[in-house]
Structures are given as structure tokens and as C-alpha cells.
Structure 1
Amino acid sequence: MAKNHFREQLQNQGAERATEQRSLGNIGKVVNYHPNTGKKNADGSFEGGICNCDRHQGKKIEDYEMHSVDVDVLMGNKMQRLYSVPCFVYNQGVIDKGFVKNDRVWIQYINGDVNLPVATAYYREPDQLELFWNNLKYRVAGFFDELLPGKTGV
């Protein structure tokens, strides 16, 4: 009896999830990055620094905009721009250099609320030089791998 009840609950939850109309996350493309500039005042409050993105054009940003992105996200059939989405992406190099235009970011929504977006992961396309060197490394490694005795090839 308990097994059937549990199985029925699982089936119902799966059916509900399959019919959900909204997602807990989207992939977006960075339009502007607002750097982690600014300073801490003597009273403990933060003051935003200068941002040279297309939107601010050298003006001072608010403290809540530090380390945030403006992102284009496809929501339904419409492309929507989300402004000053806080970033919880901390990786060596990202903090120092920041995001660049067209970086892909994963936007999650806190408790599924589309009014509370957060960038939690990113992917940057490798440039042509990186692709060339990676390709060369794998080809050279493959060549020497075939020279090893006992290899029959694939």
C-alpha cells in the first residue's frame, strides 16, 4: 500500500513538472558588465565606482550594481533585457577582468520568481588562437599515441 502511494506521488509530481510553463533558469548573453569597483566608506557603507559600459558611459554606478551584468534572455518568444543582474560567479580571472560582451551566463531565479534573477555560471567562447593550439596539441598527442607498441588503432 505504501509503495503504491509513493509511486503515485512521484507520478503526479513528474506530471506537474512536465506541464510547468516557466523554467527556474535561462541562458543569457552579456550585454554590459559593471565592474567590482568602488570603495568602502569610514561608516562601513559602500560607494560605487566608475563604470565604462555602454549604459553608464563613465558615470558612477550604485553600490548594488557592482559585479553585475545586463543580459539578454529569451523568455517565451520574446528577447528581454535584464539590467544589473547580480553575479555569483567567482572564478579566477572573472573578478579581475570581468565579463565581456557575448559571454554566455546561466540566469537562475530565486524561488522561481522572474523578478529575482542571479547569474550563477558563465561560458566564454575560445578565440581562434586557443582553438588552433588545442587542436594542434590533440593531433600531436594522437600521432605519438599511434606510435606506441600494441596499439591497433580505432
Structure 2
Amino acid sequence: MSVEESGFKRDLHDKGADRASERNYQGHIGKVAFYHPNTTFCECGATDNEGNIRHPEGAKTALPADERHTVDVDVLLGNKMQRLYSVPCFMYSQGVIDKGFKKHDRVWVQYINGDPKTPIATAYYREPDQLDLFFNNLKYRVAGFFDELLPK
């Protein structure tokens, strides 16, 4: 039995096509457009595809239970940007001061069982601000100073 006769070559071709055309939805990196906190009211100013305002900015509109602690994410699918609405978040705040996501945070969006209709945000990355950079630099300089004092 040759390679052409077996299904190996066809399977290999199909897997390559899935990756090239993004038919196989493992996950995407996107940017947060709007964050809907885990509260009963939201005033983020989010809009839908037609430009209708879903949550008016400044007006405290009631937030449905299925939209609490969700994000609207812009992801690159193929050659175009697509907005995923009300993607549930599987990350929670780290403390009292943390206010959740901010606009332009990067998030990793995965799909349950590879189904593109069921996205979930499972990780995020936020650029450090100047205060974080200052304290990180200070911490490493102090550690370096004490490291030089120790005998080698």
C-alpha cells in the first residue's frame, strides 16, 4: 500500500489546511475592547455590530447575569478583525484594589471543544505601568548590590 493509497496523505493535507485557514479553532490572542465587571450595573459604553449602544456610558444600565465578568474582544481571524461579544472570563481579580480588565489588555481566547461559538478568555497580559517598572528596577538593583557584597 503506497502513501497515496492510504489516508495518511489526505489526513496530513487536511490538518495543514485547518491550520492555514484557521478552521481548527484552538485559540486566539485578542485585545479587550470593553470589560463588563461582576456587578449588577455597567456603564462601559459598549456597542454592537450595528453601532447600537448596549451599555450607555455614564448611565447605569442593568447588566444581565450572563454578561457579568465578561469582555468584548477584538481578534484577528484570517485577514479581518472580528469582535467577540460577552466572552466569559476564567480569571478573577487578585485583590481589593484590582478593578478587572482594562481596555487594550491582551487576552488569550480559547474555544470549548474547538467550537468557535463558545469562546472563553483564559489568560491575560497587561503592559506594566511606570510605577511597576520603577519598583521592579529598584528591587533588582538592591538585590544586585547585596549580591556583590557576598563573598564569591
Quickly name the TM-score band, shorter chain normalised: 0.7 to 0.9
Q: What is the rounded CA distance, in whole Å, between the counterparts of 1:119 and 1:125 in structure 2? A: 18
What is the CA-CA distance between 1:93 and the residue it aligns to?
3.4
- Work out which of the residue numbers 41, 44, 56 in structure 2 matches 1:50: 41
Say if 2:73 and 2:83, in contact at 8 Å, map to a contact too: yes
CA displacement 1:9-35 (0-9 Å, x = unmatched): x99977754442324101111111111
Which runs of structure 1 show a deviation greater than 3 angstroms over 4 or more consecutive aligned residues?
10-19, 93-96
> Over residues 91-139 of structure 1, what are the superposed CA-to-partner deviations in whole Å (9 max), with x where a residue is unaligned?
4239962211111111001121212111111112111111011012112
CA distance in 2 between counterparts of 1:89 and 1:135 reads: 27
Is the CA contact 2:93–2:100 (under 8 Å) kept in the aligned structure 1?
A: no
User: What aligned pairs does 1:2-81 form with structure 2 within 5 A after superposition?
Assistant: 17-20=15-18, 21-22=21-22, 23-37=25-39, 49-55=40-46, 56-57=55-56, 58-81=60-83
For structure 1, which runs of at least 5 residues remain unmatched after alignment?
Answer: 1-9, 38-48
Alignment correspondent of 2:87? 85
The structure whose residues are more often helix, as a share, is: 1
The residue type paired with residue 53 of structure 1 is C
Q: Which residue of 2 aligns with 1:43?
A: none
Distance 1:33 1:96, change over 3 A: same
Amino acid of the structure 2 residue aligned with 1:113: D
Amino acid at match of 1:120: T
| Conserved 8 A contact 1:27-1:73 | yes
Judged with a 3 Å threshold, the aligned counterparts in structure 2 of structure 1 residues 134 and 15 are, in CA distance, closer, same or farther, namely: farther
Alignment partner of 1:139 out of 133, 138, 141: 141
Paired amino acid for 2:36: H
Match of 1:98 in 2: 100
Instruction: Check if 1:130 corresponds to 2:132.
Output: yes
Q: Distance in 2 between matches of 1:11 and 1:147?
A: 63
Q: Distance in 2 between matches of 1:67 and 1:126?
A: 22
Q: Residue type matched to 2:94 in 1?
A: Q
SS where residue 121 of structure 1 aligns? strand
Residues 36 and 95, structure 1, Cα contact 8 Å, conserved in 2: no
Aligned length: 132
